[in-house]
Homo-oligomer: A and B are copies of this chain.
């Protein structure tokens, strides 16, 4: 039988309670649901279910070693995440594959999603600003009196909103972009066309936040839905920062993935 524990529990070091006590006393349904949801999410993202169709609760309960009640509660959590839909008679379906954005090298969104469909950008802001915010100038290491280019694009994959990307660009790099195909192409691509060679590197910081009213409206999700907020400062090969982005990305549609090596300390 699955789920049976061996007689020889080897305790909960450091909890100060007798072996097994912490486990037994706190193993509520909410807790089991959380654990099952994490396992199921991994399976869904890993492509374990053919054609995005999940087995029925009974079969899931068997393979995940949970009760049907706990499985149902786990499915409720994943439905709240926007990962699956459940419908009487139709069963449980994966809404759509989440798109995996690799964290192994610097890529633009359209480049990453090539193969998933067509990325189109609604250009919401595209200006040379004479007196940009001081904070943007500092980030780009520009003098106090420098102009900068402000871009904001709502990015759609196959028509569905995926992210809002706002950026400040150094004027020499950004100005030529204003005459190019901002609706159809990645900014990285366009910059490389302008500089005639590859970009250098980016410092990337990833936050998980919830959608404010404005982001929710733009992205077609409820306020409070999870988002990635990504700061990305991209540099030329010589180290000069030229592209200071803030991305807000729907977390029900995108995951970030990478392979990490243990390496040396």
The residues of A with any CB-CB pair to B shorter than 8 Å are: 1-6, 8-15, 20, 22-23, 26, 28, 30-31, 33-35, 37-43, 45, 48, 62-66, 77, 80-81, 98, 100, 103-106, 120-136, 139, 147, 152, 164, 166, 175, 178-184, 188, 198-210, 212-215, 217, 224-229, 231, 246, 248, 251, 255-263
For A209, list chain B residues within 8 Å (CB).
81, 208, 226, 251
Would A133 and B10 count as touching, CB distance under 8 A? no
For A42, list chain B residues within 8 Å (CB).
139, 205, 231, 246
- Give the one of A120, A124, A212, A260 with max B CB within 10 A: A260
Would A1 and B131 count as touching, CB distance under 8 A? yes
Would A6 and B65 count as touching, CB distance under 8 A? no
Known contacts A8-B128, A255-B205, A263-B106, A39 near B133 by CB under 8 Å: yes
For the complex, give the distance between the alpha carbons of A103 and B105 in Å: 12
For the complex, give the distance between the alpha carbons of A208 and B184 in Å: 27
Would B263 and A5 count as touching, CB distance under 8 A? no
Query: Smallest CB-CB separation from A81: which chain B residue?
Result: B209
From residue A183, how far is it (CB to closest CB) to chain B in Å?
A: 2
- With A30-B212, A199-B262 given, can you name 10 additional A-B contacts, CB distance below 8 Å? A2-B133, A8-B128, A41-B231, A62-B134, A201-B259, A203-B259, A204-B259, A206-B256, A208-B227, A208-B251
For the complex, give the distance between the alpha carbons of A41 and B1 in Å: 51
Would A262 and B200 count as touching, CB distance under 8 A? yes
Would A10 and B178 count as touching, CB distance under 8 A? yes
For A22, list chain B residues within 8 Å (CB).
122-125
Would A200 and B127 count as touching, CB distance under 8 A? no
Query: Of B13, B199, B202, which contacts A259 at CB under 8 A?
Result: B202
13 contacts between A and B (CB under 8 A): A8-B128, A9-B126, A10-B127, A10-B128, A12-B123, A13-B126, A30-B217, A42-B205, A45-B231, A106-B263, A188-B262, A201-B259, A202-B260
From residue A233, how far is it (CB to closest CB) to chain B in Å?
A: 8
Would A35 and B166 count as touching, CB distance under 8 A? yes
From residue A96, how far is it (CB to closest CB) to chain B in Å?
A: 15
Query: Smallest CB-CB separation from A224: which chain B residue?
Result: B224
Would B63 and A255 count as touching, CB distance under 8 A? no
Query: Smallest CB-CB separation from A65: which chain B residue?
Result: B133
